[in-house]
Structure 1
Amino acid sequence: MAINNKLNKIWYGGDYNPEQWDREIWDEDVRLFQLAGINVATVNVFSWPLLQPSEDEYDFRQLDDILDNLHKNNVHVCLGTSTAAHPAWMAARYPDILRVDWEGRKRTYGGRHNSCPNSPTYRKYAAKLAGKLAERYRNYPGLLLWHVNNELGGYCYCDNCAKAFRVWLKRRYGTLEQLNKAWYTAFWGHTFYDWNEIVPPNLLSEGVHWNYQRSNQNSISLDYFRFGSDSILECYLIEAEAIRKHTPDIPITTNFMGTYKEMNYFQWAPHLDIISWDSYPAPNQPPSFNAMTHDLMRGLKNGRPFMLMEQTPSVANWQPYCKLKRPGEMKKWSYQAVAHGADTVMFFQLRKSAGSCEKMHGAVIEHAGHEHTRVFRECAELGAELNRLGNTLIDSRIHAKAGILYDWENRWAAELSSGPSNDLDYVNEVHKYYSAFYEQSIPVDMVGIESDFGRYDILIAPLLYMVKPGLAEKLEAFVSRGGTFVTTYFSGIVNETDLCYTGGFPGPLRNVLGIWTEETDALYPGESNSLVLTRSYGELKGAYTSDFLCDLIHSEGAEVMAVYGSDFYKGMPALTVNRFGSGTAWYVATSPEASFMRGFIKQLCEDKGITPLLPPQEGIEVTCREKEGAAYLFILNHNMEQRTIELPPGLAAVKELISGIMVNNELKLPPHGTAILQLPVR
């Protein structure tokens, strides 16, 4: 099923800001849109002062003209609510709308995402504007989707938020006695006797100056992360509710930012009709990282397709070094999104701004203002290709038998912890395991703790520092039924309020893992140990370098598969496997080198009968989407040279959908090239 059946094909377009231009430019814009194959424009994302020039005045005449111009030229609309930046008059008249930052400084007017999410003024006027837009344009024939706000995020530490935080805490804990217990406030004499004594944990209270992520009182700061995400979600819901009163059948979304730390997207996901996100891979970022983030976005709604809401056609101006996308690279990143479940390809931006901080950001229409540019030609080529694909891929799904657990609250807690290492980066730890699947062309899902584990044969939970109530039992049931579970160093340390489990780590995971952890050693950058296998496992044998963290563990029934090779804990277990019911639970006590990770994941998959989509080849990415019995094999070349892909005998004489030609035996892909093979219907 398409996002909206008014346009049952891959949506192609992006952010369009005609309010920045004189009207004579608008006709030229739509002419160029037609040349590029653009069929969707996201408009009205930052227009609040134009729509509401004063407190009691609304003016939609310019937006009417913009929408009329797009409709008569067959360009559909993703309509923004413009609430990501409040008007200057609002800041001057209602200072409660202004945010206070982590260092305790109250903002003046400027920037974007500059509104306090708990300001009654902001919530009142944002909801009112969203409702007026929905009422006015409810019958607009080109309306495909509502786009609430833009890249929601950022916490506030003002008095409004302090009051709201106390209300949130009362709902969560009920009594101060329960709160003091959950927060361990006996430490440093922090016991609270009145709710009004609680203040936001910023630099003026519990924050540690040398690192925004650190806190003297981890439990308080962890709850403020939860509260901050909830507060901004409430703002989204207020707008969404105002919109649904008038357009109940038009889907609503807001654009996520991948692994953005501050918002718990698994908690947000049920409230969005479709997940959308903005993809801006750095030029030196491994392709596997962006692939992982696409899969995370797909995983937010249990595998349903998502929207690529933004990417740059060429250069991202806010990166430290604004490197151009090489010929073919923009198309490759676009197809990577589709390969991992996107049903749209959208850009920021369609026409390049003439001024301010995004004037050097890439666009389909450059400052030159015509179609005779390298970027425009490539965008037009992609538009023609996507048009030929039609609805073939729409609502097709990816089927994986392995999953990687990703949990925002676990990340918050682990990175707030003062120890064991300042280099602890939850996302990077997850990526180490994801890349081992990716490099072997084995599909893997990114799943939340509320997901159905029963869909998987293998479940990986890197750095499962926080184990919430019920999770250990859920994992035990998964393993007992025959699943393979893997977790790592620094797991099973704390409960949901960041209090350490006593009686031995890994806390409630101790039973299923068959081990206990006595100590954790942090290694300096450049320092290493080794993981020495006591017996071979698949192709793994001998010794492998390890670094970062080393858990000192003892077996309580688990089989020791590898030991440490040096230091005073030489000979202690470094890799164990425990037979539990019909399945197995592995504990990786250190961070092994990439070659070990690839061999380890490969053998785990072989043990479960999970095979690569194609024989792995360096720099070649492979995914598969399925629909109505047909399968579509995506093959992407991330190398700077042409690659030849040898196809298995069963793939002889198949159609390549982008070119429309038949492929036999082998496929030649140019640098940054993509192929989509239509496999026989099963």
Structure 2
Amino acid sequence: MPGLGEVTRGRVLFGGDYNPEQWPEEIWHEDVRLMREAGVTTVTVGVFSWARLEPHPGAREFGWLDRLMDLLHHNGVGVALATPTSAPPPWMGRLHPETLPRDEDGHIEWWGGRQHFSHSSAVYRRHAAAITEDLAARYAAHPALTLWHINNEYCTFDHGDEAAAAFRRWLRERYGTLDALNTAWGTAFWGQVHDSWDGILPPRRAHYLKNPAQLLDFRRFTSDMLLECYTAERDIVRRHTPHIPVTTNFMPLWTGQDGWAWAEQEDIVSVDLYPDPRDPLAAQHGALVQDLTRSQARGPWMLMEQAAGAVSWRGVNHPKPAGLNRLWSFQAVARGADAVCYFQWRQSRQGAEKFHSGMVGHAGERGRTFQEVTRIGAELAALGPEVAGSEVTAEVAVLHDWHSWWAGTQDGRPSREVDHPALLHAWHRALWESRLTTAFAHPEHDLSGYRLVVAPAAYLLTDAAIENLLAYVRDGGTLVSGFLCGVVDEDDRVRPGGMDARLRALFGIETLHEWWPLEAGESVVCEGPHGGFRGTLWSEELRTRPEAVAARYRGGELDGLPAVSRQGRAWYLSTLPEPEALRELLAGIAAEAGVRPVLEGLPDGVEAVRRGKLLFVLHHGREPVTVAVPGTHRELLTGETVRDSLTLGRYGVAVLRS
């Protein structure tokens, strides 16, 4: 299948969502003039245009889109043409209310926003296929078409009757028999045994806690149903244009999709990324999302959306200070992006997102935002031939599995303070602040290419995943696991002993007596051979082999008991060390495993990432810093020669080629 390389052709794509239906056509000519000035190569068109293309059932109004496609092509701008199926026209919900999703209380989610469709609705799917078919047939040979963009930010849950029927079909296919389903769901508890498929419903409001295995399967079902919607449209456009790659845009760490499974169905993996400019850890959040997306793509990926300035959906929406947009754009490129795009091209004057920034803001072409965007476009155009298609190498992998996340967030667990994304961020932050480039991996992936693998939140592990981790350590890899590792199997069934016996043996743990979750703000004191640290969030009453104790609890109920165990190259942390302690611990383990930063001795707030033959040095602070870069290099953004050190100003970026 075609991939991102067929679109980029040795350049970094640059552009954003373009919604010309919001503007009179005379503005379109002004838009393409400014696009040329800004160095725009690609725009996404049609994401929310279903009501314009099909104003009433069966109608087709393509004339405006014909003129737009021609105009963009004549001005050298490629089109990522979207199927408009994330925003069905109001007439669909009015004439076919069964296409509207329902929440767990049975309330309808009405039209007037977006994503107001039931993924299981046969009527919705039929209309979505019809508009996709006609779009693909009409524009298959259009020279502006460079990429298909299916739907937008799939994120719909549905608990309605049609979804219930689809859920039952999905469960029949998964389990085959009611006996198998009852066993998997543990329905003997609370007398929930099902005697008929017809009695099975999506999780709806209940008097008390819902069945956690049912909730887990409903998450799986929802991801699969949305994926069916995506692949149905993908297959239509592929039939018309097998040479044009297809994508849909992920939201970062979105809980509703199994991102590993979805990425396998995309020609290009793309993501939308909106860190908060006021968040002191925003750059690390961006790095995490970029590392995860690159890992899903197994190579270069597409930043489909970011904000040129402020967003409109936080309580207080701060703009990006001067230079931050450029810095974060280059951070994405450093971590594997071959496309840097925005929502949206021109800032809207009406609608729910009129205060969301655009590449062309309300201030117009003289505004700071557009001037910064123009600089970024020029720099990416110059850098593209040097970087496009090149790989980012990582020797450290962070394990992440959506199914483990889904299972670990159910009610009725030991602590609601334990949050899967927060744990991923804590461990990734420790590695990022140690200047170690990371990838992400599923626990069943091939891990042989990594010197170090960390498992921050591996609550659910299949037998295949456990055997994979055992083989990884047996073959010479170093594994560091956080608490609650391998507690349940794929049915959210607690394994005997509270942790799989194979993992207990791997980590030198003889008995896991009790889990001791900590309150918010509470901590435990731990001491090891290299000093003490505080643990947060969690602790455990363990008995390990004496030689496996790497740190002990001091004080409290767990005084003298193991806090960290180590057996050979396998480590187990029964608490979450505070950030500095976790950073020092993981950096030390990484060094022992032979992993080193790209650059040593970097000042605070500076990250360095090697992509292919290029070294990206990114300064996330406001005060100038001097960075040691031994040797002689060519700085590609300025053309200057750099010998042994460089100075970076506020939000500075350097791209070095030796």
Give the TM-score category using the shorter length. Answer: over 0.9
Partner in structure 2 of residue 633 of structure 1: 615
Q: Are residues 504 and 68 of structure 1, via their aligned partners in 2, closer, same or farther at CA, if it must alter by over 3 Å?
A: closer
**Displacement after TM superposition at 1:424 (Å):** 1.3
Give the Cα separation in 1 of the matches to 2:624 and 2:312: 29
Give the Cα separation in 2 of the matches to 1:454 and 1:373: 50
State whether residues 396 and 453 of structure 2, in contact with CA within 8 Å, keep that contact through their aligned partners in structure 1: yes
Partner in structure 2 of residue 347 of structure 1: 342
Instruction: Give the alignment's TM-score, normalised by structure 1.
Output: 0.94
Give the Cα separation in 1 of the matches to 2:311 and 2:603: 29
**Displacement after TM superposition at 1:284 (Å):** 3.4
State whether residues 148 and 253 of structure 1, in contact with CA within 8 Å, keep that contact through their aligned partners in structure 2: yes
Equivalent of residue 520 in structure 1, options 506, 512, 515 = 515
Q: Secondary structure at the match of 2:79?
A: strand
Partner in structure 2 of residue 570 of structure 1: 559
Deviations 1:175-206, CA, capped at 9 Å, x for gaps: 1101111111011110000001011113x237
**Displacement after TM superposition at 1:434 (Å):** 1.1
**Displacement after TM superposition at 1:279 (Å):** 0.6
Amino acid at match of 1:20: Q
Equivalent of residue 291 in structure 1, options 284, 287, 293 = 287
Amino acid at match of 1:146: W
State whether residues 603 and 625 of structure 2, in contact with CA within 8 Å, keep that contact through their aligned partners in structure 1: no
Q: Secondary structure at the match of 1:392?
A: helix
Would you say 1:598 and 2:587 are equivalent positions?
Answer: no
**Displacement after TM superposition at 1:505 (Å):** 2.3
Equivalent of residue 446 in structure 1, options 436, 440, 452 = 440
**Displacement after TM superposition at 1:658 (Å):** 1.2
Partner in structure 2 of residue 56 of structure 1: 58
Q: How does 1:223-622 map to 2 (within 5 A)?
A: 223-285=217-279, 286=281, 287-302=283-298, 304-368=299-363, 370-515=364-509, 516-533=511-528, 535=529, 541-556=530-545, 559-579=548-568, 584-615=569-600, 616-622=602-608
Q: Secondary structure at the match of 1:605?
A: helix
Deviations 1:436-458, CA, capped at 9 Å, x for gaps: 11112111111112321111111
Q: Secondary structure at the match of 2:386?
A: coil
Amino acid at match of 2:317: C
Q: Are residues 108 and 609 of structure 1, via their aligned partners in 2, closer, same or farther at CA, if it must alter by over 3 Å?
A: closer
Segments of 5+ residues of structure 1 without an aligned counterpart are 209-214, 536-540
RMSD over aligned CA atoms reads 1.4
Q: Are residues 433 and 497 of structure 1, via their aligned partners in 2, closer, same or farther at CA, if it must alter by over 3 Å?
A: same
**Displacement after TM superposition at 1:558 (Å):** 5.6
Q: Secondary structure at the match of 1:634?
A: strand
Q: How does 1:176-255 map to 2 (within 5 A)?
A: 176-202=178-204, 204-205=205-206, 215-255=209-249
Give the Cα separation in 1 of the matches to 2:413 and 2:562: 22
Q: Are residues 554 and 405 of structure 1, via their aligned partners in 2, closer, same or farther at CA, if it must alter by over 3 Å?
A: same
Give the Cα separation in 2 of the matches to 1:169 and 1:401: 39
Partner in structure 2 of residue 658 of structure 1: 637
Amino acid at match of 2:328: W
Sequence identity percentage: 37
Q: Secondary structure at the match of 1:241?
A: helix
Partner in structure 2 of residue 624 of structure 1: 610
Segments of 5+ residues of structure 2 without an aligned counterpart are none
Partner in structure 2 of residue 672 of structure 1: 651
Q: Secondary structure at the match of 1:653?
A: strand
Give the Cα separation in 2 of the matches to 1:260 and 1:94: 29
Give the Cα separation in 1 of the matches to 2:462 and 2:76: 50
Give the Cα separation in 1 of the matches to 2:427 and 2:594: 19
**Displacement after TM superposition at 1:283 (Å):** 2.2
State whether residues 199 and 205 of structure 1, in contact with CA within 8 Å, keep that contact through their aligned partners in structure 2: no
Give the Cα separation in 2 of the matches to 1:295 and 1:611: 18
Identify which range, 223-232 or 105-114, moves more after superposition.
Answer: 105-114
Give the Cα separation in 2 of the matches to 1:301 and 1:451: 14
Amino acid at match of 1:107: E
Q: How does 1:9-158 map to 2 (within 5 A)?
A: 9-158=11-160
Deviations 1:256-314, CA, capped at 9 Å, x for gaps: 01111111110111100010010100123311121011100111133x11000000111
Partner in structure 2 of residue 211 of structure 1: none
**Displacement after TM superposition at 1:553 (Å):** 1.0
Amino acid at match of 2:313: W
Give the Cα separation in 2 of the matches to 1:107 and 1:590: 41
Amino acid at match of 2:603: Q
Amino acid at match of 1:484: T
Deviations 1:522-547, CA, capped at 9 Å, x for gaps: 111221111110x2xxxxx2210111
Would you say 1:642 and 2:624 are equivalent positions?
Answer: yes
Identify which range, 334-343 or 502-511, moves more after superposition.
Answer: 502-511
Give the Cα separation in 1 of the matches to 2:100 and 2:131: 19
Q: Secondary structure at the match of 1:288?
A: helix
Aligned residues: 652
State whether residues 513 and 558 of structure 1, in contact with CA within 8 Å, keep that contact through their aligned partners in structure 2: no
Q: Are residues 92 and 558 of structure 1, via their aligned partners in 2, closer, same or farther at CA, if it must alter by over 3 Å?
A: farther
Identify which range, 271-280 or 596-605, moves more after superposition.
Answer: 596-605
Q: Secondary structure at the match of 2:341?
A: strand
**Displacement after TM superposition at 1:321 (Å):** 1.2
Partner in structure 2 of residue 212 of structure 1: none
Give the Cα separation in 2 of the matches to 1:503 and 1:432: 27
**Displacement after TM superposition at 1:7 (Å):** 4.7
State whether residues 4 and 300 of structure 2, in contact with CA within 8 Å, keep that contact through their aligned partners in structure 1: no
Give the Cα separation in 2 of the matches to 1:194 and 1:278: 42
Partner in structure 1 of residue 10 of structure 2: 8
Q: Are residues 94 and 336 of structure 1, via their aligned partners in 2, closer, same or farther at CA, if it must alter by over 3 Å?
A: same
Give the Cα separation in 2 of the matches to 1:141 and 1:523: 60
Deviations 1:234-265, CA, capped at 9 Å, x for gaps: 00001001111100110000000111111111
Instruction: Give the alignment's TM-score, normalised by structure 2.
Output: 0.97
Q: Are residues 639 and 23 of structure 1, via their aligned partners in 2, closer, same or farther at CA, if it must alter by over 3 Å?
A: same
Give the Cα separation in 2 of the matches to 1:226 and 1:299: 21
State whether residues 81 and 149 of structure 1, in contact with CA within 8 Å, keep that contact through their aligned partners in structure 2: yes
**Displacement after TM superposition at 1:131 (Å):** 1.4
Q: Secondary structure at the match of 2:366?
A: coil
State whether residues 300 and 448 of structure 1, in contact with CA within 8 Å, keep that contact through their aligned partners in structure 2: no
Identify which range, 418-427 or 21-30, moves more after superposition.
Answer: 418-427
State whether residues 128 and 242 of structure 1, in contact with CA within 8 Å, keep that contact through their aligned partners in structure 2: no
State whether residues 3 and 274 of structure 1, in contact with CA within 8 Å, keep that contact through their aligned partners in structure 2: no
Give the Cα separation in 2 of the matches to 1:12 and 1:136: 25
Q: Secondary structure at the match of 1:300?
A: helix
Give the Cα separation in 1 of the matches to 2:9 and 2:294: 21
Give the Cα separation in 2 of the matches to 1:476 and 1:609: 20
Deviations 1:395-414, CA, capped at 9 Å, x for gaps: 11111111110111101111
Give the Cα separation in 1 of the matches to 2:226 and 2:546: 46
